[in-house]
Every structure is written in structure tokens, then in C-alpha cells.
Amino acid sequence: MSIMLSEFLTAPAVIREVVNANKKVIADIAKDFKERGLTNITTVARGTSDNAATYFKYIVEVIGGIMVSKFTPSITTVYNSSVNLKDNMVIAVSQSGMSTDTLMVVEGAKATGALTVGITNNPESPLAKLCHYHINLMAGEERSVAATKTFLAQLTVMYMLANALSRSTAKMNISEIPPMLETFIEESKNDLSAFAEQTKNLNNYIILTRGLLQSIASELSLKMMENAYRFSRPFSTCDFMHGPIALVEEGTKVIMLAPNSEFSQEFINMATRLSLLGAEIIAFTDIKEVADIAQISFRMPACRGMETPFIYTMAVELYAAYTAEALGISAPRNMNKVTITK
């Protein structure tokens, strides 16, 4: 078993730890945000952490009604521009807490009066110490070069923070997620391994989904590129219709992440159209019509709303790890565990 796969399998235990460790600090952050009368949130992150930030944008806007924007680090690090973030809470997400660009953005944000929050897996890191508040991912040492258990930990604290900032009642009890993931792993890991073996030669494909799973599609794309050297491009089904559908011809490969949800009919319509255009569809879905249209499908369990990103994350992360194993790739090439960029 690869290091990456073994670490993915510990994610349910990490989620339990991260929930218990961060209840107070998240409540304190939400209290400070409201007392300051802030109305906007800005995130800064790279790679997997940026995918988690995309999830946060969706979830806090859906349940909290708070506008979230993403900061482009080069505005600070290359163009040397100072952006006034006084009325913002700036959330910097970095597993290591050592990225130069993230640190520079936070320093600039603090100088303009922003409330700053660092989300890292290292409470002793420069980012953790720089920010007004620190949320600890509690994942322990992550030996895999590619981020593993830290991504699900990030989704967890992002959900907790979004819920704390929201004026409405909780949409999901986060403590229910670990046993759900454990059940999914136990029931699905062998089938996912076989699915990865069946599709290991898939390359140069499109990934389609919509809504809360958009960040999960981006994470699947990233994990398949860095761990299995397979190129892909994620799109929302809506954005895909605005031009990129012109790419589709006989034999075009498309992975669909299609849970039964608000977008079920859209997923069915998209699968139908892609099939008529000659595309080869590989689906992770619990929608019968999509599974019937797809050439290959992995039967996902039925999920309720806010649970869906967690279950689908576990599925695609394990799929990426099993694909790497099937291809005989033990660790990503050309990469370091800590990526320092400016």
C-alpha cells in the first residue's frame, strides 16, 4: 500500500480530531467577524488548499450569504500593489504555513486592517503565528508528497467556519461525517481499486460537475495530474456549454461527478448530449439515467446535500491513489513536499 493511500484511509480519524480541536477558535473567529461588522471574506491559497478555498466560497455563500473572493498573490508579490482589505476577513490556507506568497499577502492585509485567519497543519509555522487566528488541521505528519488527509481536514474546518458565520441553523452535523466515510471506505475500496485498474490508461479528459462539487472536480484533476501523470481539465456543466463543448467529438473522454441533487436533470441532459456527440463517459454517480448512459460508471451511495462533497472527495482521492498504484507510480516526480512560490 502506498503512503498516499494509507494516509487517505486515516482521514475519518483526522476529521474527528479537527472538529474537537477547533470548536472554540472557530466560534471566536465568527464572533470577531460579526462584532467588527465585516461583510466580505477573501481567501488566499495555492494548489489543493485553493481547491478547499473554492469549496469554502460555495458553502459560505450558500448557507451564510457572505460574499467570498479569491486574492491573486502576484498582485502583492510581483506587482507590489497594496489592496485595501480593511473590511475583509482574509483566510490564508496552506498545509505547511510556509509559502512566501501567502505570507506576503497576509502581511499586506494586516497592514490595511484586515482580520486574518490562517489554516495550516503546523501551529508553529510562520503563517500560523502571523495571523490573528489559527485553525489547526490536526493531521499530524503528512508523509505523502501530494496532500492527502489535510484536504478533508480543510473541508471540515471550512464547513465549520461557514456554519458559525451563518445566521441560519446547521445544515449538517459534521460529527456524522467520519462514520459515513468509514462505511464508504469499507464498502467501496475494493471496487474503487478495480475501477482504477479498469480505467488506468484514461488520459486527456474533461471532468464535469456542478455546484458544491466544483472544488472536488478540481482536486480530482490535480491529484490525477500529480500522482498518475494524467492530464484533465475540470469544468462546471454550465461553463462547459459556453464554448468548451466544441471540443467534444467521437471518442472524447469525460468523467462526470454526478450526484442526485439540485442538478440531477442537468447531469442527465449533459450525459445524453455527450453520448449523442460520441463522447466516452466515465461517471461517479447515483443517478440511474446517467449510469445507464455512461460507458463505465462507479455506483456512488446516495448523499444528502452537504454530505456530498465529503463522500465524493473520499471516492476521487482513493481513485487517484489506486490509479497511481495500478500504474506503478509510488510518488510524484519533480515535486517537493513544501512548495515555496512567489
Same domain assignment for residues 152 and 232: no
**What pLDDT, on a 0 to 100 scale, did the predictor assign at position 258?**
98
Does any domain span residue 332?
Answer: no
Examine residue 341 and state whether it is found in any structural domain, yes or no: no
Residue pair 311/180 in contact by the 8 Å Cβ criterion = yes
Average pLDDT over residues 4-25: 88
Contact between 191 and 314 under an 8 Å Cβ cutoff? The reply is: no
**Last-in-domain residue among 121, 156, 171:** 171
Nearest alpha-carbon partner for 310 in 225, 215, 245: 215
Q: What is the mean pLDDT of residues 237-243?
A: 96
What is the C-alpha separation between 4 and 216, in angstroms, rounded?
17
In a domain, 337, yes or no: no
Asked if residue 318 lies in contact with residue 197, where contact means CB atoms within 8 angstroms, the answer is no
> In this structure, is residue 125 part of a structural domain?
yes
Say yes or no: 159 and 286 in one domain.
no
Question: Quick one: pLDDT at residue 11?
Answer: 86
CB-based contact 258:207 (threshold 8 Å): no
In 3D space, the residue among 162, 161, 94, 134 whose CA is nearest the CA of residue 337 turns out to be: 94
Residue 282 domain flag = yes
Q: Is residue 283 pLDDT above 60, yes or no?
A: yes
The reply to whether 61 and 37 lie within a common domain is: yes
48 contacts 42 by C-beta, under 8 angstroms = no
Q: What DSSP element (H or E) covers 54? A: helix 47-64
210, 234 Cβ separation under 8 angstroms: no
Mean pLDDT on 117-137: 97
Backbone angles phi, psi at 131, to 5 degrees: -75, 155
133 shares a domain with 197: no
Looking at the fold, whether 130 and 213 belong to one and the same domain comes out as no
Write down the mean pLDDT value for the chain. 92
Q: H or E element: which one contains 292?
A: helix 288-293
Provide the domain count of the chain. 2
Q: Which residue has the higher pLDDT, 108 or 3?
A: 108
Q: Which segments within the chain are labelled E, that is strand?
A: 40-45, 67-70, 88-93, 115-120, 133-136, 205-209, 232-236, 253-258, 280-285, 296-299
High-pLDDT (> 70) share of the chain, %: 93
Instruction: Give the pLDDT score at 10.
Output: 84
CATH number at residue 66: 3.40.50.10490
- Examine residue 108 and state whether it is found in any structural domain, yes or no: yes
pLDDT at position 287 is: 98
| Bigger pLDDT: 140 vs 240 | 240
Q: Are 273 and 138 found together in one domain?
A: no
The residue with greater pLDDT, 63 or 342, is 63
In the listed set 171, 193, 218, which residue is the last one of a domain according to the structure? 171
Alpha helices by DSSP H, listed for 112-236, are: 126-130, 149-165, 177-199, 214-228
For 178-187, write each residue's pLDDT tens digit.
Answer: 999 999 999 9
Reported as a single tens digit per residue, the pLDDT across 78-118 is 999 999 999 999 999 999 999 899 999 999 999 999 999 99
Check whether residue 113 and residue 254 sit in a common domain. Answer: no
Lowest mean pLDDT among 86-100, 217-231, 256-270, 322-336: 322-336
| 259 bridge partner residues | none
Instruction: Evaluate if residue 335 carries a pLDDT over 60.
Output: no
- Which of 137, 171, 205 is the C-terminal boundary of a domain? 171
Mean local confidence (pLDDT), 235-254: 96
For residue 337, pLDDT beyond 50: no
In terms of residue numbers, what domain contains 59?
3-171
pTM for this predicted structure: 0.93
Residue 121 covered by a domain: yes
Could you tell me if 167 and 304 lie in one domain?
Answer: no
Which percentage of the chain shows pLDDT scores above 90? 84
- pLDDT at site 139: 83
Residue 312, pLDDT above cutoff 50: yes
Range in 45-54, 133-142, 200-209, 326-335 with the lowest mean pLDDT? 326-335
Distances (CA, A) of 148 to 48, 141, 145, 263: 9, 11, 9, 28
The pLDDT value recorded for residue 339 is 61
